[in-house]
């Protein structure tokens, strides 16, 4: 990945920051979310647990339709879960009303996938970045303060002061995404949910935007939930990773543990299909075929939901749901757990 960011913000980039789990910033437990009715009911997110520490980046990976964005919408308070709890700094955001709800909304922001569609073409960069202050008027009450802060935010994301009065169509895709990031930062959030923030960008520009996000975390201590189907991007940015398949987190752990020694066959297959990554958890010299289509969410396979595509599948996999298995749990009790749902996990 490129290290140089044009107009780069100053300050040391210390790389990945370990989250503290004494009190996680975000604590998601058993969250389930379904859509539709009767036979046309599908469970997009099925009993998911997630934690994000202060200043930590959690990567969320999985194929299209596995429930990443639905989970993100629950975390953002845009969808109410059918079951389970969301705690943000110990508070359930779905119980908040009025001023408390407004105060919470400040703390959790979003960066969208498509910097072309997500910015209003008729607003200047300064107006786009400052728009959240219209709702949260108390933050920067005077026009002078707002103008000064817009310039600071532009500089923070590697844009120039002279960019303040330009319009979205005058920027490149990477620059537009920087505006999206500056806008997400306007309310000084604790958590930013980034849903495929670089997938619409060229590879070289992806690296620049990832560096901006990474530097902001170091400078501001902000946490991210970082959603992507691109494993190399997730590996680059994440401290911990959760891998989703058909609505469930089937493996999670520290990014290096999950990527260097996947324990779930699905993770290993995903990595095998990703040309830019090594697959040390795969059988030596073999490429693992991720064959077949993802099953319809209306007809989730019995037992292990990955069994219709798994090269290790055995009769037990169809008969019973796989248990949670942990790797090296006893070797180092202080280490982040590395767990997966599988009857026959890989050896690593």
Ligand X SMILES: Nc1ncnc2c1ncn2[C@@H]1O[C@H](COP(=O)(O)OP(=O)(O)OP(=O)(O)O)[C@@H](O)[C@H]1O
**Interface residues toward ligand SF4, by CB under 6 A:** 264-265, 304, 306-307, 310, 312-313, 317, 322, 342-344
Which of ligand X, Mg ion, ligand SF4, none does residue 233 bind to, with CB < 5 to 8 Å depending on kind?
A: none
| Site map 62..91 versus Mg ion, x via CB under 5 A | -------x----------------------
* DSSP string covering 62-119: --TTSSHHHHHHHHTTSS--SEEEEEETTB-GGG--HHHHHHHHHHEEEE-S-TTTSS
Using alpha carbons, list the distances in angstroms from residue 107 to 9, 87, 93, 223.
23, 13, 11, 11
Q: Would you state the torsion angle of the CA atoms of residues 4, 7, 8, 9, taken in this order, to the nearest 10 degrees?
A: 170
Binding site for ligand X (CB under 6 A): 35-36, 42, 44, 62, 64-70, 229, 297
Q: Which is nearer to ligand SF4, 192 or 269 (CB)?
A: 269
Number of residues that bind Mg ion (CB under 5 A): 1
| Site map 140..179 versus Mg ion, x via CB under 5 A | ----------------------------------------
Count H helices and E strands in the chain, helices first.
11, 11
Q: How far is the CB of 331 from Mg ion (least distance, A)?
A: 36
End-to-end CA distance of the chain: 27
Fill in the DSSP letter of residue 67: S
Q: Which is nearer to Mg ion, 194 or 290 (CB)?
A: 194
Q: Which is nearer to Mg ion, 69 or 214 (CB)?
A: 69
Which of ligand SF4, Mg ion, ligand X, none does residue 242 bind to, with CB < 5 to 8 Å depending on kind?
A: none
Dist CA 104 CA 189 (whole Å): 9
Which of ligand SF4, Mg ion, ligand X, none does residue 66 bind to, with CB < 5 to 8 Å depending on kind?
A: ligand X
Q: Which is nearer to Mg ion, 72 or 317 (CB)?
A: 72
Tokens of 21: 């789990």
Which of Mg ion, ligand SF4, ligand X, none does residue 185 bind to, with CB < 5 to 8 Å depending on kind?
A: none
Parallel, antiparallel, or unpaired for β 191-195 and 240-245? unpaired
How far, rounded to the nearest angstrom, does the alpha carbon of residue 165 sit from its chain's CA centroid? 31
**Residue 124 within binding range of Mg ion, rule CB under 5 A:** no
Q: How far is the CB of 199 from ligand X (least distance, A)?
A: 9
Cβ–Cβ contacts within 10 Å for residue 55, how many?
20
What is the contact surface with Mg ion in residues (CB under 5 A)?
69
């Amino acid at each position: 990945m490129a290290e140089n960011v044009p107009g780069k913000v100053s300050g040391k980039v210390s790389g990945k920051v370990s989250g503290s789990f004494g009190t996680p910033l975000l604590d998601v437990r058993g969250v389930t979310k379904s859509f539709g009715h009767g036979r046309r009911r599908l469970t997009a997110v099925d009993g998911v647990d997630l934690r994000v520490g202060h200043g930590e980046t959690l990567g969320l990976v999985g194929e299209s339709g596995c429930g990443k964005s639905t989970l993100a919408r629950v975390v953002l308070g845009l969808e109410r879960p059918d079951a389970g709890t969301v705690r943000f700094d110990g508070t359930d955001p779905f119980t908040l009303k009025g001023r408390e709800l407004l105060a919470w909304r400040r703390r959790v922001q979003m960066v969208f996938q498509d910097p072309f569609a997500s910015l209003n073409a008729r607003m200047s960069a300064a107006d786009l970045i400052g728009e959240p202050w219209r709702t949260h008027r108390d933050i920067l009450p005077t026009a002078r303060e707002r103008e000064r802060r817009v310039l600071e935010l532009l500089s923070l994301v590697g844009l120039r002061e002279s960019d303040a009065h330009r319009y979205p169509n005058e920027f490149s895709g990477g620059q537009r995404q920087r505006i999206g990031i500056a806008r997400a930062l306007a309310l000084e959030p604790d958590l930013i949910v980034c849903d495929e923030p670089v997938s619409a960008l060229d590879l070289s520009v992806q690296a620049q935007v990832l560096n901006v996000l990474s530097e902001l975390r170091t400078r501001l201590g902000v946490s991210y939930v970082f959603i992507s189907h691109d494993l190399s991007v997730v590996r680059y940015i994440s401290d911990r990773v959760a891998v989703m398949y058909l609505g469930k987190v089937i493996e999670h752990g520290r990014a290096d543990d999950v990527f260097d020694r996947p324990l779930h066959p699905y993770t290993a297959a995903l990595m095998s299909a990703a040309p830019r990554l090594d697959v040390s958890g795969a059988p030596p010299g073999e490429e693992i075929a991720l064959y077949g289509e993802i099953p319809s969410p209306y007809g989730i396979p019995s037992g292990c939901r990955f069994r219709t595509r798994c090269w290790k599948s055995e009769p037990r996999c169809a008969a019973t749901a796989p248990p949670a298995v942990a790797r090296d749990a006893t070797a180092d009790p202080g280490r982040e757990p590395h767990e997966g749902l599988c009857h026959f996990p890989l050896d690593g």
